[in-house]
Structure 1
Amino acid sequence: MRLVIAPDKFKGSLSAPEAAEAMARGVAAVNPDATIDRVPMADGGEGTVTALVAATAGRTRQATVAGPLGEPVRAVYGILGHGRTAVLEMAAASGLSLVPMARRDPTRSSTRGTGELIRHAISQGATRIILGIGGSATNDGGAGLGQALGFRLLDSDGEELAPGGGDLGRLDRIEAPDASPIADGVEILVACDVTNPLCGPRGASAVYGPQKGATPEMVERLDRNLSRLADVVARDLNVDIREIPGAGAAGGLGGGLVAFAGGRLQRGVDLVIEAVRLRDRLQGADLCLTGEGALDAQSAFGKTAVGVSSLAREMGIPAIALAGTIGEGAEAVLDEGISAYLSICPGPISLDEAVRRGGELLERATEQAIRIFRAGRDRP
Structure 2
Amino acid sequence: MRLLIIPDKFKGSLTSEEVYKAIKKGVEKVTENSHFHFVKASDGGDGFLEAIKTYRNCSEVKMQTLDPLGRKISSMYLYDGQTQSAYIEMANSSGMELLQPKERNAGLTTTYGTGQHIEDALKRGAKSIYVGLGGSATNDGGIGIAKALGYDFLDRDGASLKPIGKHLSEIHDIVKPVHGVDTSEVRFYAVNDVKNPLFGENGAAYVYAAQKGADKSMIEELDQGLRNLSEIVIGSMGKDFSDLPGSGAAGGTAFGLKAFLNAEFLSGVDFILEVSGVKQVLVEEKFDYLITGEGKIDAQTLSGKLIEGVVELAKKYQIPVLAVCGMLDVPLNELTSKGVIDVIEIRDTGKSLEYNMENASILLEEKISRYFEELV
TM-score (norm 1): 0.84
- SS of the equivalent of 1:360 reads helix
Against the structure 1 CA distance between its residues 224 and 289, is the aligned structure 2 distance closer, same or farther, given a 3 Å change threshold? Answer: closer
- Give the equivalent residue in structure 2 for 1:143: 143
- Give the equivalent residue in structure 2 for 1:77: 77
Distance in 2 between residues matched to 1:94 and 1:210, nearest whole Å: 17
Distance in 2 between residues matched to 1:367 and 1:103, nearest whole Å: 42
- Give the equivalent residue in structure 2 for 1:174: 175
Distance in 1 between residues matched to 2:351 and 2:82, nearest whole Å: 41
- Give the equivalent residue in structure 2 for 1:258: 258
- Give the equivalent residue in structure 2 for 1:292: 294
- SS of the equivalent of 2:314 reads helix
1:41–1:272 contact (8 Å) kept in structure 2? yes
Q: CA RMSD in A?
A: 3.2
- SS of the equivalent of 1:280 reads helix
- SS of the equivalent of 1:88 reads strand
Q: How does 1:283-322 map to 2 (within 5 A)?
A: 283=283, 284-287=285-288, 288-322=290-324
Q: What does the per-residue CA deviation read over 1:260-285, in whole Å, with 9 as the maximum and x for residues that have no partner? A: 12223344323332232332233313
Which amino acid is 2:142 matched to? G
Q: What does the per-residue CA deviation read over 1:54-81, in whole Å, with 9 as the maximum and x for residues that have no partner? A: 4667664433212222211222334589
Note the C-alpha offset of 1:127. 4.2
Distance in 2 between residues matched to 1:94 and 1:341, nearest whole Å: 34
1:6–1:290 contact (8 Å) kept in structure 2? yes
- SS of the equivalent of 1:290 reads strand
- Give the equivalent residue in structure 1 for 2:357: 355
- Give the equivalent residue in structure 1 for 2:37: 37
Which amino acid is 2:98 matched to? L
Q: How does 1:15-94 map to 2 (within 5 A)?
A: 15-31=15-31, 33-54=33-54, 60-78=60-78, 85-94=85-94
Q: What does the per-residue CA deviation read over 1:334-363, in whole Å, with 9 as the maximum and x for residues that have no partner? A: 232323322234774433232222222222
Q: What does the per-residue CA deviation read over 1:273-307, in whole Å, with 9 as the maximum and x for residues that have no partner? A: 22323322333132322222233454332332332
- Give the equivalent residue in structure 2 for 1:333: 335
Note the C-alpha offset of 1:9. 0.7
- Which stretches in structure 2 are left out of the alignment for 5+ residues? none
2:96–2:135 contact (8 Å) kept in structure 1? yes
Distance in 1 between residues matched to 2:159 and 2:141, nearest whole Å: 19
Distance in 1 between residues matched to 2:57 and 2:273, nearest whole Å: 15
Distance in 1 between residues matched to 2:349 and 2:107, nearest whole Å: 47
1:23–1:362 contact (8 Å) kept in structure 2? yes
- SS of the equivalent of 2:340 reads coil
Which amino acid is 1:175 matched to? K
Which amino acid is 1:189 matched to? A
Distance in 2 between residues matched to 1:108 and 1:299, nearest whole Å: 29
Against the structure 1 CA distance between its residues 232 and 25, is the aligned structure 2 distance closer, same or farther, given a 3 Å change threshold? Answer: same
- Give the equivalent residue in structure 2 for 1:246: 246
Against the structure 1 CA distance between its residues 30 and 59, is the aligned structure 2 distance closer, same or farther, given a 3 Å change threshold? Answer: farther
Which amino acid is 1:187 matched to? F
Q: How many residues align?
A: 373
- Give the equivalent residue in structure 2 for 1:272: 272
Against the structure 1 CA distance between its residues 358 and 78, is the aligned structure 2 distance closer, same or farther, given a 3 Å change threshold? Answer: farther
- SS of the equivalent of 2:301 reads helix
Greater alpha carbon shift after TM alignment, 44-53 vs 309-318: 44-53
Q: What does the per-residue CA deviation read over 1:248-267, in whole Å, with 9 as the maximum and x for residues that have no partner? A: 33222121111112223344
Against the structure 1 CA distance between its residues 80 and 214, is the aligned structure 2 distance closer, same or farther, given a 3 Å change threshold? Answer: same
Which amino acid is 2:131 matched to? L
